[in-house]
A and B are shown apart, each in its own frame.
Chain A
Amino acid sequence: MAWETVIGLEIHTQLATNSKLFSGAATAYGAEPNTQACEVDLALPGVLPVMNKEALRMAAMFGLAIGAPVAKHSVFARKNYFYPDLPQGYQISQFDRPTVEKGEINITLGNGETKTIGVTRAHLEQDAGKSLHEDFQGFTGIDLNRSGTPLLEIVSEPDMRSAKEAVAYMKKIHELVQYLGISDGNMAEGSFRCDANVSVRLVGQEEFGTRAEIKNLNSFRFIERAINHEVERQIDIIEAGGEVIQQTRLYDPDKDETRAMRSKEEANDYRYFPDPDLLPLEITAEFLEEVRKILPELPDQKRLRFKQEYSLSDFDAEVLTSSRAMAEYFETVAQGCGDAKQAANWVTGSLAAYLNKQELSISESPVSANDLTGMIKRILDNTISGNIAKQVFEAMAKGEGDADTVIESKGLKQITDSGAIEAIIDEIIANNAGQVEQYRAGKEKLLGFFVGQVMKASRGKANPGQVNQLLKQKLSG
């Protein structure tokens, strides 16, 4: 039987606000437990939430970026359930009136085709605290630092048909929220995680199969593996004559399997109702206009522009727009040196390789965009050759100064004086009489050998173009 997989994702993005969604407490990661929880986050008697406008602005930015209407009128609702790390006994979220309505996003499939994935909605909500089960004999420790941190929950349509598509979509959203500057996207710290709704059906079947929800996936690798595992599990059940039951499952990366957390029957009745402590959010046209003004160029727009403006290949445009910092770096270099091709080659080549090896991000690059610009200028004005430039780059990466400093201190300036180059050539010809004879007898391939010798003798500094030209003259003469 041929099976089709159907996947929808609920992505939880922690918004990069300085303070919490409804309190003034800080949101920084990694503080001592309970040092970033004020009376509101602790849900003391009598406290009240006050909306963080910055979070609203960020949600609106996301809405504009995916072409979704930003609701003029949205409502915070209480989702009621008991859990020790949920101090209020309810989560303030949005239920039937989310701030961001239906939008869409394009992903690129493995075969290069583009597919549009629907985004059902995105809503603001507060995160819970953390329960710490280790280190407390017979007790559970509660850390409320994360309690009240703003999340944007981005809910997709069930539009994805494979784990790979799900990952591509997740990556696309990940890239977008970072581009927008509304999330640091740090998956290890839980700033970007998702729940995957997975079901299978026979190819050609209209209705969806029964779905399972896999909770809290926080790496691209786990998402792919968890979904693939879940798909196999469901197919096995159905092919063995069984029925998939609707339930919530957890992925165990150590065992590479999902297991049941709770079934639909045990699910909470969350008793949603509008939070009477918060007024409905009214979003004005002026507010949206302000947000539109600060909206940065989006990845897809940037890729297109790079291809047109800098004549880049698809591949280069993709790599150079993989993050906003990368794109800014490239543009600084391209505009500074005036040669986009050189800029692209260096950024996607030596720089990318170096950063990769050192496990650094572009913003941590020891070679600044200005340094790289300075170096490429020296290639363009023939002060150094492309080959020598690699040495200069290495030296700059080691912190030995800018290109001019390195060229000066290491004596790497290219030899362009014909007299000096001729002197080296004469010596090489004199020392390699046999090869000269063969060359003159028609073995022109030996030109490479002579070039190599000359470059070696000049320690790479001779201008390769001149060397070629002069060698040909002398050898033929």
Chain B
Amino acid sequence: MMHTKSLSELSTALQKGSLSSVELTQHYLDRIEKYDSVLNCFVTVTAEQALNSAKQADVMLAKGEGNALTGIPLGQKDIFCTNGVRTACGSKMLDNFIAPYNATVVEKLNACGMPMLGKLNMDEFAMGSSTESSFYGATKNPWDTARVPGGSSGGSAAAVAARLVPIATATDTGGSIRQPAALCGVTGIKPTYGRVSRWGMIAYASSFDQAGPIAASAEDCALLLGAIAGFDEKDSTSIEHDVPNYTAGLNDSLQGLKIGLPREYFGEGLDPAIASVINAAIDSYKAMGAEIVEISLPNTHLAIPAYYVLAPAECSSNLSRFDGVRYGYRCKNPENLDDMYMRSRGEAFGEEVKRRIMVGTYALSAGYYDAYYLKAQKIRRLISDDFTQAFKQVDVIMGPTTPTTAFKLGEKSNDNISMYLADIYTIALNLAGLPGMSLPVEAVAGLPVGLQIIANHFEEGKLLNVAHQYQQQTAWHQQMPAAFMDIDKG
């Protein structure tokens, strides 16, 4: 049952030599082979490369040179540039793009000796909440394959949930780590903006985008986050701030921890069944000695409108480089330059990407900039101030990650507004640059539910500690979708 083990268990076995990285990697490749045709988590499987890396990891381990991650394979979200491997970002635009360099996140994990199993599916250019906008088809939720896994990091969350990978990288611009983690019953953390380098991570909305891990537990997330966090001189927005040992603080006591419950996160629109399991989780914290404080984040209702001005504005500019000139898709037989631009972009971008480019272009246009972009920036500051006030009273903020459990494939694909509302609880903290995570609590009607925890800037350690303590008391995070657990080589 290698795929049911935690990273630290696997690591111990690898260090002892009772398990080799090649065996472990092959085990996951077999599982991908068997199940991914159903789930569609992977856009590209890099089996040969993974086994070669595993061999090297075994050499490192034999020499005693590795660390706690050495030899453990992983999946990379297809938003990270991987040298020599197609990096398509879920888009037809980059279907032919083989990245000639590694993202810093990839570089760091390669250096740890973590074999990459392949590239994980995602919404096109990370724009979406269901992974349905991927050029490579939707990923299925392992708990119910008629349902979405969430998005944009749906491939990462579903692959971890089905244990096709022990751990995966993901990115979060408005909830893209936490929302799929919640819908797939896994644990994910979106770090403070600036905590993890964005170099080599294809930009959607630069002032929001942040990379983080999705794994089976907070403990596993702590290990991976420690490896990817830190200042990078190639990213001017990464911040020079010490990276603590996230594993060391996991067992700190929660006695006296002040948990804020924003009343805006428990109001209209929240499925009562979800409210009930979230409240049960909060009761567990009370039992661990935490104190509950009701708080208010009064500008919460402005988060989605502000986000859907600012993120598209940035995306409209970020995606201008995809013009068919130097790489990526170019239309056939362009008549002239304008024709080349219009058809290359028109034919290669999907509906949602086009919608956001148009919204963003409009918001930045002369005569509208003040009314949209500048106003949204002001709201961004108000929302940030809400959190600043809240963290004067409490240590962490808790609430549901999503208002509903996983919805059906196709259910919201023609209703983008209702799709946007799936991120109602996750978006505000991206506006404020704060760290947040989602961890599974009791399921509702067989579908996972996520508890979101939010902390102040650079308090990822606190988040992981709070999540880990819950996972020590409960076993929700160890629930696995039975349909994908049956093959076992032991």
Pick the residue among A42, A45, A51, A84 that contacts B236 (CB under 8 A). Answer: A51
List CB contacts (< 8 Å) of A46-67 with chain B: 46-51
Tell me, yes or no, whether A250 is within 8 Å of chain B by CB: no
| Closest chain A residue, CB of each to CB of B94 | A45
- Closest CB of chain B to A391's CB: distance in Å? 61
Q: A39-B100, A44-B327 are in contact. Are A89 and B234 (CB under 8 A)?
A: no
Chain A residues with Cβ under 8 A from B94's Cβ?
A: 45
Out of B87, B234, B373, name the residue touching A45 (CB < 8 Å). Answer: B87
Q: Is the CB of B236 within 8 A of A271?
A: no
Give which listed residue, A45, A50, A271, contacts B99 with CB less than 8 A: A45
- Given the contacts A45-B94, A271-B365, A278 and B202 also touching, CB distance less than 8 Å: no
As a 0/1 sequence over residues 334 to 370 of chain B, the CB contacts with chain A under 8 angstroms (1 = contact) are: 0001000100000000000000000001001110010
Contact between chains at B320 and A88 (CB < 8 Å): yes
Q: Does B198 contact A (CB under 8 A)?
A: yes
Which B residues touch A78, using CB under 8 A?
317
Are B199 and A47 in contact (CB-based, < 8 A)?
yes
Instruction: Compute how far the CA of A82 lies from the CA of B321 in the bound complex, rounded to whole angstroms.
Output: 9
| Contact yes or no, B200 A273, CB < 8 A | no
Shortest beta-carbon distance from A89 to chain B in Å: 2
* The residue from B101, B327, B341, B369 contacting A82, defined by CB atoms under 8 A apart: B341
Q: Is the CB of B325 within 8 A of A87?
A: yes
B454 contacts which chain A residues (CB < 8 A)?
none
Complex contact A273–B364 (CB within 8 A): yes
Complex-state Cα separation, A88 to B321, whole angstroms? 5
A44→B101 contact, CB < 8 A: yes
Residue from A45, A87, A279 within 8 A of B202 (CB atoms) = A45
Q: State whether A89 and B323 are in contact (beta carbons under 8 Å apart), knowing that A271-B364, A277-B206 are contacts in the complex.
A: yes
Task: Please state if A271 and B361 are interface contacts (CB–CB under 8 Å).
Answer: yes
A87 touches B321 (CB 8 A): yes
Of all chain A residues, the one with the shortest Cβ separation from B80 is: A46
Cβ < 8 Å to A, chain B residues 377-436:
none
**Contact residues in A for B234 (Cβ distance below 8 Å):** 48, 50
Chain A's closest residue to B313 (CB) is A273
Chain A residues closer than 8 Å to B274, beta-carbon distance: none
Q: Are B321 and A46 neighbours in the complex by a CB distance under 8 Å? A: no
Query: Taking the complex as formed, is A254 at the interface, i.e. its CB lies under 8 A from any CB of chain B?
Result: no
Closest residue of A by beta carbon distance from B324: A84
Residues of A within 8 A of B322 (CB): 45
Candidates A43, A50, A88; contact of B233 at CB < 8 Å: A50
Question: Which residues B192-240 have CB closer than 8 A to chain A?
Answer: 198-203, 205-207, 233-237
Closest A residue to B361 using CB positions: A271
State A78–B317 Cα separation when bound (angstroms).
Answer: 8
B360 to chain A, nearest CB (A): 9
B320 to chain A, nearest CB (A): 2
**When A276-B206, A276-B207 are in contact, do A43 and B321 touch as well, CB less than 8 Å?**
yes
Taking a contact as CB atoms under 8 Å apart, the answer to whether B364 and A142 are in contact is: no
Given contacts A80-B317, A80-B320, A277-B237, contact A45 B369 (CB under 8 A): no
Contact check, A45 vs B97: say whether CB atoms are below 8 A apart.
Answer: yes
CB distance from B236 to the nearest CB of A (A): 5
Are B236 and A89 in contact, CB atoms less than 8 angstroms apart?
Answer: no
Whole-angstrom distance between the Cβ of A147 and the nearest chain B Cβ: 11
Indicate if A222 sits at the interface (CB-CB under 8 A). Answer: no
Within 8 A of B (CB), among A69-99: 78, 80, 82, 84, 87-90
Q: Which of A43, A46, A51 has the most CB of B within 10 A?
A: A46
Q: Which residues of B contact A272 (CB under 8 A)?
A: 364, 369
Residues of B within 8 A of A84 (CB): 323, 325, 337
Given contacts A46-B203, A82-B341, contact A142 B325 (CB under 8 A): yes
Interface check B314, CB cutoff 8 A: yes
Interface of B is mostly: loop
A45 and B199 contact, CB distance less than 8 A: no
Does A269 reach chain B (CB closer than 8 Å)?
A: yes
The answer to whether B332 has its CB under 8 Å from any CB of chain A is no
Chain B residues, Cβ within 8 Å of A273: 313, 317, 364, 369, 373
Q: How far is the CB of A370 from chain B (nearest CB, A)?
A: 45
Rounded to whole Å, the gap between the CB of B124 and the closest CB of chain A is 13
**Chain A residues closer than 8 Å to B199, beta-carbon distance:** 46-48
**Residue on B with the closest CB to A79?**
B317
Given contacts A89-B317, A278-B236, A279-B237, whether A82 and B323 have CB atoms under 8 Å apart is: yes
State in angstroms the CA–CA spacing of A45 and B125 once bound together: 11
Q: Establish whether residues A45 and B317, one from each chain, have CB atoms under 8 Å apart when the complex forms.
A: no
User: B306 → chain A, closest Cβ, in Å?
Assistant: 15
* B63: A residues at CB distance < 8 A: none
A44 to B203, CA, bound (A): 11
B489 within 8 A of A: no
Cβ-based interface call for B162 (8 A): no
Is B103's CB within 8 Å of the partner chain A?
Answer: yes
**B321 and A89 within 8 A (CB):** yes
The reply to whether B365 and A269 contact each other, CB–CB distance below 8 Å, is yes
Query: Contacts A50-B233, A278-B236: A44 and B201 contacting too (C-beta < 8 A)?
Result: no
**Residues in A neighbouring B337, C-beta threshold 8 A:** 84
Which of A48, A90, A142 interacts with B235 by CB under 8 Å?
Answer: A48
A416 vs B325: C-alpha distance when bound (angstroms): 79
A contact residues around B237 at 8 Å (CB)? 48, 276-279
Proximity string of chain B (27-47) to chain A, C-beta cutoff 8 Å, 1 when within and 0 when not:
000000000000000000000
Q: Which residue of A lies closest to B88 (CB)?
A: A45
- Contact indicator per residue, chain B 86-100, by CB within 8 Å of chain A (1) or not (0): 010100001001011
Contacting residues, chain B, for A278 (C-beta < 8 A): 236-237
For residue B313, which residues in chain A have a CB less than 8 angstroms away from its CB? Answer: 273
Is B441 an interface residue when CB atoms closer than 8 A count as contact?
A: no
Interchain CA distance A89-B322 in the complex, whole Å: 8
Closest to A85 in B: B325
User: Among B201, B236, B317, which residue has its beta carbon within 8 angstroms of that of A49?
Assistant: B236
List A contacts of B201 (CB < 8 A): 46
A46-B236 in contact given A80-B320, A87-B325, A88-B320 (Cβ < 8 Å): no
Of A43, A47, A88, A271, most buried by chain B (CB within 10 Å of CB) is A271
How far apart are B174's CB and chain A's nearest CB, in angstroms? 15
For residue B281, CB closer than 8 A to chain A, the reply is no
| B365 neighbours in A (Cβ, 8 Å) | 269, 271
How far is B100's CA from A278's CA once the two chains are assembled, in angstroms? Answer: 24
Is B455 among interface residues, defined by CB-CB distance under 8 A?
no
The chain B residue with its CB closest to the CB of A273 is B364
Point out the residues of chain B lying under 8 angstroms from A42, CB to CB.
326
Whether B439 sits at the interface, judged by CB under 8 Å, is no
B200 contacts across to A, CB distance below 8 A: 46-47
Q: Which residue of A is nearest B209, CB measured? A: A276
Contacting B at CB under 8 A, from A252-281, are 269, 271-273, 276-279
Chain A residues within 8 Å of B236, by CB: 48-51, 277-279
Q: B81 near A: Cβ within 8 Å?
A: yes
User: Which 7 pairs from chain A and chain B are nearest by CB?
Assistant: A89-B320, A271-B364, A276-B207, A276-B206, A46-B200, A43-B321, A45-B202
Q: Can you identify 27 A-B contacts, CB atoms within 8 angstroms?
A: A39-B101, A44-B81, A44-B101, A45-B203, A46-B200, A47-B199, A48-B199, A48-B235, A48-B237, A49-B236, A80-B316, A80-B364, A82-B341, A88-B320, A88-B321, A89-B319, A90-B320, A142-B325, A272-B364, A273-B364, A273-B369, A276-B206, A276-B207, A276-B237, A276-B314, A277-B203, A279-B237
Known contacts A45-B81, A48-B237, A273-B313; can you find 10 more A-B pairs with CB under 8 A?
A43-B326, A44-B81, A44-B101, A45-B202, A50-B236, A271-B365, A273-B364, A276-B237, A278-B237, A279-B236
